[in-house]
Structure 1
Amino acid sequence: MKQYAIVIPAYKPDERCIHLIRDILAAGFPEVIVIDDGSGPAYRDIFESLSAIPEVTLLRHAANQGKGRALKTAFHYILNNKLPYEAIITADADGQHLVSDMLKIARGLEEEPRHVVLGARDFTQKDVPFRSRFGNRFTRLLFRLSTGTVLSDTQTGLRGIPVKYLERLLAVYGERFEYEMNMLAALKKNYIPVSEVTIETVYLDENKSSHFNPLRDSFHIYKVFLFYGLSGAASFGLDIGLYWIFIQLLRDEAPELFIILATIAARVLSSLFNYYINRNKVFGQGSHKSFIRYYILAAFIMLASAGSVHLLYAEWLGRGEVILKVGVDTVLFIFGFIAQRAWVFRKE
C-alpha cells in the first residue's frame, strides 16, 4: 500500500475518525491527509490527537467551505509538494468506509492503474435508509441521461484517483457535495476510464452523521439538470407560442403547408435563444463546431417534428395541431438533450 495515500475531509468528526485513521495506518497505508473543514474550537482536541500521529498530515480551513473545497485543498497539497504517490483514495471521516474496502480500492488501482476506481454500495439491502436508496436511484438516472455513463453508485465518497488526474480534476466546478458528482461527469469529458468495485454498505445511526443537506445540496447536485430543464421549458414555451401565432397567420394563406411552415419559423427563432442559453448557462462549454452541430441537430429535430405532426394529423382532430405537436416534441426533447450532451457541446 506504499504507493497510495488516504485523503479524508473532516467536518465536526467524532472519536470514530481517530480509530479509523489508526486502522488505516495499521493496514499499511503510508500517509493519511486529513482536512479540517472549519470544524471549530469544539473539535480542537480531536484534530490535535490526529496531528500527533506522525503519518497524519493535517490541513485546515479557517471556516467551513464544503467537501469539494476540502478535496481540492488536498489535491493542491499533493501536487505542490510532489508527494511520491501513484494514487490517492478518498474516504469519509465518519467510519462508513471500511479499511477492508479501501484495500479493495487499492487492489483495483493495481489492476487498472489508468482507471479511477469507485467503491459501489449495494442499495438493494433492507437496512439502507429510504432517502439514500431513493436518492441513489434518482441520481443514477439523471447522471446516465446527462453523461451517458452507467454507474452503480454515483454518490460514493470512496474513490481511488491516480495522481496524474488531480490537476485536471482541480478545474472541475463545485465547492460542496456537488463537486463529487461534477467530478464523475468530468471523467468522461476528459477521457478518464472508470471502474467499480463492490464495497460494504454501512449506515451508522440511520446515516445521522452525514452533513448532506437534502434541500441545499440536492440543488447543487441537480442544478445542471434543473437549468437544462428550465432552458428547454423556456425555449419550448417560446416555440409553442410562436408556432400558434404562425398557424393563425398561415392557415388560410397556405392551407397545404401551414403546419410545416409554422414549425420552421417558430423553431428557427426559439433555437437561437436555446443555443445561447445552453452553451453559456447550462453546459458552459462549446466551440465554433458547436454552432454547426447544434443546427444540424435542430434541423433534424425540426423536420422530425414537422414530419411527424404532418403525418399524424387528421382532419377529425379539428384544431388539435398544437396538442399533437406537444406530444411529439416531448419525445424529441429527451432525444435532443442526449444529443447535445454527447455531441453538440462535448469537450473538444
Structure 2
Amino acid sequence: MLLSVLIPAYNEINNIDTLLEKVQAVPVTKEIIIVDDGSTDGTRERLNSYRSIPNIQVIFHEQNQGKGAAIRTAIQHMTGDIAIVQDADLEYEPQDYPALIQPIIEGKEKVVYGSRFLKPENRHSYYSFYIGGQVVTLLTNILFNQRLTDEPTCYKVFEANFLRSIPLECTRFEFCPEVTAKVAKRGIRIRELPISYYPRSIAEGKKISWLDGIEAIWVLLKYRIVK
C-alpha cells in the first residue's frame, strides 16, 4: 500500500531538511506531499530543490492560510491508500509510521491516532498546553463517546478514501477537532497507539497558542450540534 505523508509547512527553514530526511528513511512505500503555506523565511526556496525527487510533491500557497487549509490542499493531491498528517517540525518521530499504519493495512481500522500519553517516557511541553490538550480530549470523549488520551495529536492516520469523504472546512489548527468530530459522528471509535514526542519551545518555533485551545472547544461544541 502507498502511504501519503501530508506535510503542512510554514517558516520551517531550520527543520525541513532534517524532517524530509527522516520521513524518507522510513521503510514504507510513500509519497510526500508538502504544502508550503506562504513561508517567508526561505522555506519556499529550499523546497524548490526537492521538486525533482520522484516521490515528493511540493505545492505553494501564495499567502499564509493556516495548517488546516494546507492539509486540505494536500488531501486534494494525494494518491495513496493511507494518509498521515506530519507537522514540519521535529516534535514527532516518523519511524512510528509502520506501527500506526498496520491496523489500516490489515483492514481492522479506518482511523488511528498516535498518542503521546501512551508512552510514559515522553516529555511534554508547557503546562498550559498540557492542560489545554487534556481539556480538549476530555470534552471530545464526553461529546462524541470516544476513549481518547490525546485528541490534539499531530499523528492522525486515515484510510485515504475515508479521509477524502470527510467534508473539511478548517483553515487553521481547528483541523484536529473538526476531523475528530466528523469521524466520530460516523460511528467510528478511534484507536490510539503510542508514539514518541520531542516537544519544542515557542522560541524554537512552536506556533500553536492557548487561543487555539479555545477555538478547539468551540469547534467540538459546534460539530456536536451541527449535522
TM over 0.5: yes
TM-superposed CA distance for 1:40, in Å, is: 2.9
2:91 alignment partner, SS class: coil
Matched, 1:132 2:123: no
- Write the distance in 2 (CA, Å) between the matches of 1:11 and 1:165: 27
TM-superposed CA distance for 1:30, in Å, is: 2.7
Larger fraction in strand: 2
Q: Is the 8 A contact 2:132 2:210 kept in 1?
A: no
Q: Is the 8 A contact 2:181 2:220 kept in 1?
A: no
- Write the distance in 2 (CA, Å) between the matches of 1:53 and 1:113: 33
Residue 210 of structure 2 is matched in structure 1 by: 214
Q: Is the 8 A contact 1:101 1:199 kept in 2?
A: yes
Pairing of 1:26-65 with structure 2 (within 5 A)? 26-28=25-27, 29-40=29-40, 42-65=42-65
Matched, 1:122 2:129: no
- Write the distance in 2 (CA, Å) between the matches of 1:156 and 1:206: 17
Q: Give the 3 Å change call, closer, same or farther, for CA 134–125 of structure 1 in structure 2.
A: farther
Q: Which moved more, 1:142-151 or 1:48-57?
A: 48-57
- Write the distance in 2 (CA, Å) between the matches of 1:225 and 1:182: 7
Give, as a single letter, the amino acid of the residue that structure 1 aligns with 2:177: M
Q: Is the 8 A contact 2:86 2:155 kept in 1?
A: yes
- Write the distance in 2 (CA, Å) between the matches of 1:22 and 1:141: 35
2:148 alignment partner, SS class: coil
Of residues 147, 158, 163, the one that matches 1:161 is 158
2:7 alignment partner, SS class: strand
> Which one has the largest radius of gyration?
1
1:31 alignment partner, SS class: strand
Q: Is the 8 A contact 2:132 2:213 kept in 1?
A: no
Of residues 101, 106, 124, the one that matches 1:106 is 101
Identity over aligned residues, as a percent? Answer: 24
Larger fraction in helix: 1
TM-score normalised by L of structure 1: 0.59
- Write the distance in 1 (CA, Å) between the matches of 2:202 and 2:62: 30
Residue 83 of structure 2 is matched in structure 1 by: 88
Of residues 139, 143, 146, the one that matches 2:140 is 143
TM-superposed CA distance for 1:147, in Å, is: 1.3
Q: Give the 3 Å change call, closer, same or farther, for CA 106–282 of structure 1 in structure 2.
A: closer
